[in-house]
Amino acid sequence: MRAFHRTLLATALCTTFAAAAPLAQAAEPITIMVGGINKIIYLPAKLTEALGYFKDEGLTVELQSQPAGVDAENQLIAGAVQGVVGFYDHTIDLQSKGKEIEAIAVFCKVPGEVEMVSSKAAPTFKTMADAKGKTLGVTGLGSSTDFLTRYLADRQGVASKDYSLLPVGAGNTFIAAMKQDRIQAGMTTEPTISEMLKTGDARVLVDLRTEKDTSAALGGLYPAASFYVQNTWAESHKEQATKLAHAFARTMEYIHTHSAAEIADKVPRDYYGNDKELYVKALESSLPMFTTDAKMPAGGPETVLKVLATYKPLVKSKNIDLSKTYSNAYLAAGAK
């Protein structure tokens, strides 16, 4: 009889655990990989967490960081993370390779990047036409800084065989590479830009931080920092995707209704180190590049496609369905 009771108990426990399994799975955290979490262009990721907007939506979100967007993208494709904060252009590049990724919240209307030239090289390196024979720094090969650097050089008539690209990461590793003359120029973001201008180690060669300068250099708005996921994940997790999009949209509104100093108070100290004033100044000059509502700016995808198609054989208008590379639908659903 005791054996019979034990059997009944074991069966009941198994049934209980089996029933609870879907609940446990639903409560698992959403992991988001950020292509350099302390970069100002990707600030909305950490700011959304700091403001408690993920929790407001009932989400448990874990933010992780990779120094280059291409590494974050690989983690997404492998299924190691559910979402990535990186550049929108990866969604187009990946579609040309048979992978469907879509941006469901857009942070920046422009890249927010600058092609910096070292002060040592500056006297003979005045435009991208002078890149011949030089080594140019990018965060990683296959990264958005790689895409943009190639385009800027190509637009000035400099073929890819005439210069070298060196992956140097961002922040301190980028600064070290330029100081050591391992790169003569390179593409980076704030607050690194302001740090190097303050020390006099570099100068601005091509500025992609404003709509005017970006349109002049790239021919239109170039939506960049975004939150993207696999299309299949968004389709099978509509509720979570909608909540994430809504949380980010709230953050974009916060950015445009608060001062740079107020925003800086929300980020970890290691984002600005011992020079918070410099960080606030860099952030203040960066605020106009952020979208107000996390929506894809009109005409932006077409500009990105045009840029990538210039030197990527697989990225052609006839091969790319832009409607599958972004969606404002989750933002609209979240607003309701």
Residue 246 has pLDDT above 70, yes or no: yes
The model's confidence at residue 326, banded by pLDDT at 50, 70 and 90, is very high
List all residues 6 or more positions away from 203 whose beta carbon is below 8 Å from its beta carbon: 116, 117, 119, 122, 197
The model's confidence at residue 95, banded by pLDDT at 50, 70 and 90, is very high
Sheet-wide strand order for 83-87: 61-65, 30-34, 83-87, 225-230, 101-106
Across all residues in the chain, what is the average pLDDT? Answer: 90
pLDDT score for 116: 98
Overall average pLDDT of the 160-164 stretch = 95
Q: What domains appear along the chain, each with residue ranges and CATH number?
A: 26-110+222-335 (3.40.190.10), 113-208 (3.40.190.10)
Overall average pLDDT of the 61-77 stretch = 83
Overall average pLDDT of the 174-186 stretch = 97
pLDDT of 122-154, one tens digit each? 999 999 999 999 999 999 898 889 999 999 999
Contact 209, 289 (CB under 8 A): yes
pLDDT score for 71: 75
Residue 106 has pLDDT above 50, yes or no: yes
Contact 191, 285 (CB under 8 A): no
| Lowest-pLDDT choice from 57-61, 262-266, 276-280, 331-335 | 331-335
Residue 21's alpha-carbon distances to 11, 79, 81, 184, 227, in angstroms, are 15, 20, 21, 55, 29
Overall average pLDDT of the 170-197 stretch = 95
| Lowest-pLDDT choice from 203-217, 238-252, 305-319 | 305-319
pLDDT score for 25: 39
**What span, in angstroms and rounded, lies between the C-alpha atoms of 227 and 299?**
18
Residue 67 has pLDDT above 90, yes or no: no
pLDDT score for 5: 46
The model's confidence at residue 70, banded by pLDDT at 50, 70 and 90, is low
Task: Classify 100 as helix, strand or coil.
Answer: coil
